[in-house]
Structure 1
Amino acid sequence: MIRWLAFLDGDGSHWLRLDDDVATARGPGLPAVADGDALIAVVPGTAVVLHWVELPPLAPAQALAAARLLAADVSGAPVADVHVAIGAPDAEGFRPMALVDRGAMAVWLAQLAAAGLDPDRIVPLPMLLPVPAGADDVTVLAASGHDHVRGQRLAFSAEPGLTPLLIGDRNAERIDLARFDAGLDASLADLPIDLRQGEFARVQAWRVEQGQTRRIALTLAAALALWLVGDAAVLFRTSLAADRAEQQLADAARTVLPRGTAIDAPRAQVAARLASLGGAGQGLTGLAAALLGALQGRPAATLQSLGYTPDTGLTALVAVPGADDGQAIAAGLAAAGVEARIGSPRPDNGVTVVDVMVRPR
């Protein structure tokens, strides 16, 4: 495996070639990278501020949003001008957080693009140094007129005169370029952070290889068939739910119609009964119609059971595919002019359900 490291340091840019993680060549300027070889751009540590932050387990987008909030507190520049990148958490939940000027990121990528290069990753130089075993130890590399320092949850580049002030009483082990090259295999195997995130993430081009066209067509056809089958299944479940609702509506109608009444059109019969009693039109039929109307806009939600009493109103158990479906049903009922209470989602026989109570306003 061939990997190239492009060290971007103004006019002093240089490259290093690794064959199976062993340094085999180096030279000035930018490398000529062949197709299939990996390229890692190494940027000056003086241009990147590194912090270690503790974040709870979050999805990548949420973690990055939380990091941007933290960056606003520690950044000396407006956060809108700062590119924020975060790494994977360690065993104790701490993540490296890198702050770098957005303009600097754009300049580095433009410099590489002018040479026909698109790096797989962008890494600050101090993050390539060996991590010392002791919490009070640091590794120091002198290169390009700066000291590059790496410790546990510590990494920075500074002028040599400032290094003692910044590392304090930590034990410093200085290494040379040969030692740095020898440790690259371990550093690259577990890079803690990559600056190519967010707006600067690498765009992966996708090309159809020769001979893949038929396989892709068959895959798309299979996916379409599955989609159609799934859609038919949803329609079938919706139809069953509607049939159940009609039966449950007929059963509920018997509770409000005179004993012995033959039920053939429950909605019309209950409406007529309400009219004869001077009802407001929001009894069983009105409440059920409102509920079914709200469910009609959520085809994936299915009615599991239905009940009605004049005192408590309409009660229903509805299977919902997502947590937001309950609120959507509540909004539909509110728009229909009835009062609704939606319970919290809960498991029931392998599906997620919510209890719905509907009353006249």
Structure 2
Amino acid sequence: MIRWLAFLDGDDGHWLRLDDDLVTARGAGLPAVADGDTVIAVVPGTAVVLHWVELPLLAPAQALAAAQLLAADVSGAPIADVHVAIGTADAEGFRPMALADRGTMAGWLAQLAAAGLDPDRIVPLPLLLQVPAREDAVTLLAAWGHDHARGSRLAFSAEPALTPLLIGDRSVESSDLAHFEAGLAAALATVPIDLRQGEFARVQAWRVDRRQGRRIALTLAAALALWIIGDVAVLFRNSIAADRAEQQLADAARAVLPRGTAIDAPRAQVAARLASLGGAGQGLTGLVAPLLAVLQGRPTATLQSLGYTPDTGLTALVAAPGADDGQAIAAGLAAAGVEARVGSPRDDNGISVVDVVVRPR
């Protein structure tokens, strides 16, 4: 496994190459890496403030929101200018919280991008030091013009004059660059925080391997098949509904036309019948329309026969098996603005029917 550590200390920085656990190359500036190699940017601890905070078990977004509230209390800069990152919890529920200037973060990424690098992680330098076995001790590395310290829930880089104040009464275990480099692989495996979060998170390129491609193709094919089947089902239902409507129209035509008339064009035949009965004016049509509208709203009621004279008005025989069909028909016709009389239900060859007379008001 090849990993490149790009140290952003000073104007040009320097780099180390790790092959598995060993440093195999080093150089000034920023490295030129091959596709697929892991790049870890190591940023100065002097530009990152690290705190350990106790947070309950929360979803990542909730934990970050809680950390931002805590950061507002400890940051000397306006929180809008501060990038807040939250790390993994230790055994007692304490998490590292890193604070860095947003402009500085953007500058680091711009510097790396100019060298063709998009780091997988961004790690503060002091977190790459080994944590001493004793909780009251601190590992101290003096390098690159600063002291770098790491202890239990403690990590910082500072001017040498400030180090005693920050360490307090903890005992010091001194380190050097050789020990630092020898422990990098172990430190990278346990580093508890990555600054590439929130607006600075790495955008992952979506790559589809052959197996994923087959799964996606099968899923799309299944979705297309379901879509086609759905359309066919809709067409089938519409066809059935159209056939049913044509049958209902033919049945209504039989009720209007003289007995024995062959039905081949229901609409035209009914129109001709209406004209012969005086329906060219508003007399018949003004009475038939409300009756048919009322019957359409009563699925249990069906038209059996229909007659019309200008003197008596519209007479209809309606099969009305429902107990309240007659009353509903009368109420519907009255609401439509015509005068209607609905007779009492009577039996007609085993079918409950009512006589309906409709006149204009």
Asked if TM exceeds 0.5, the reply is yes
Q: Does 206-215 or 1-10 show the bigger shift?
A: 206-215
**Paired residues for 1:47-86 under 5 Å:** 47-86=47-86
**Paired residues for 1:93-242 under 5 Å:** 93-209=93-209, 213-222=213-222
- Cα RMSD of the aligned pairs, angstroms, is 2.7
Change (3 A) 1:30 1:65: same
Q: Matched residue of 1:110: which SS?
A: helix
Long gaps (5+) in structure 2:
230-321, 329-361
Once residues 187 and 118 of structure 2 are traced to their aligned partners in structure 1, the CA distance between those partners, rounded to angstroms, is: 21
Change (3 A) 1:68 1:186: same
Runs of 4+ in structure 1 off by over 2 angstroms are 207-216, 219-229
Change (3 A) 1:226 1:3: farther
Post-superposition offset of 1:159: 0.7
Once residues 192 and 26 of structure 1 are traced to their aligned partners in structure 2, the CA distance between those partners, rounded to angstroms, is: 25
Confirm or deny: 8 A CA contact 2:12 2:30 kept in the other structure.
Answer: no
Post-superposition offset of 1:221: 3.4
Confirm or deny: 8 A CA contact 1:132 1:152 kept in the other structure.
Answer: yes
Change (3 A) 1:69 1:212: closer
Q: Matched residue of 2:139: which SS?
A: strand
Long gaps (5+) in structure 1:
230-262, 270-361
Post-superposition offset of 1:225: 7.2
Once residues 46 and 143 of structure 1 are traced to their aligned partners in structure 2, the CA distance between those partners, rounded to angstroms, is: 13
Once residues 137 and 159 of structure 1 are traced to their aligned partners in structure 2, the CA distance between those partners, rounded to angstroms, is: 19
Q: Matched residue of 1:150: which SS?
A: strand
**Paired residues for 1:15-26 under 5 Å:** 15-26=15-26
Change (3 A) 1:151 1:219: same
Q: Deviations over 1:71-127 (max 9, x none)?
A: 000000000000000001111000000000000000000000001100000000000
Once residues 224 and 139 of structure 2 are traced to their aligned partners in structure 1, the CA distance between those partners, rounded to angstroms, is: 57
Change (3 A) 1:30 1:171: same
Hey, what does 2:33 align to over in structure 1? Answer: 33
Confirm or deny: 8 A CA contact 2:146 2:159 kept in the other structure.
Answer: yes
Post-superposition offset of 1:216: 2.2
Size of the aligned set, in residue pairs, is 237
Confirm or deny: 8 A CA contact 1:3 1:21 kept in the other structure.
Answer: no
Hey, what does 2:14 align to over in structure 1? Answer: 14
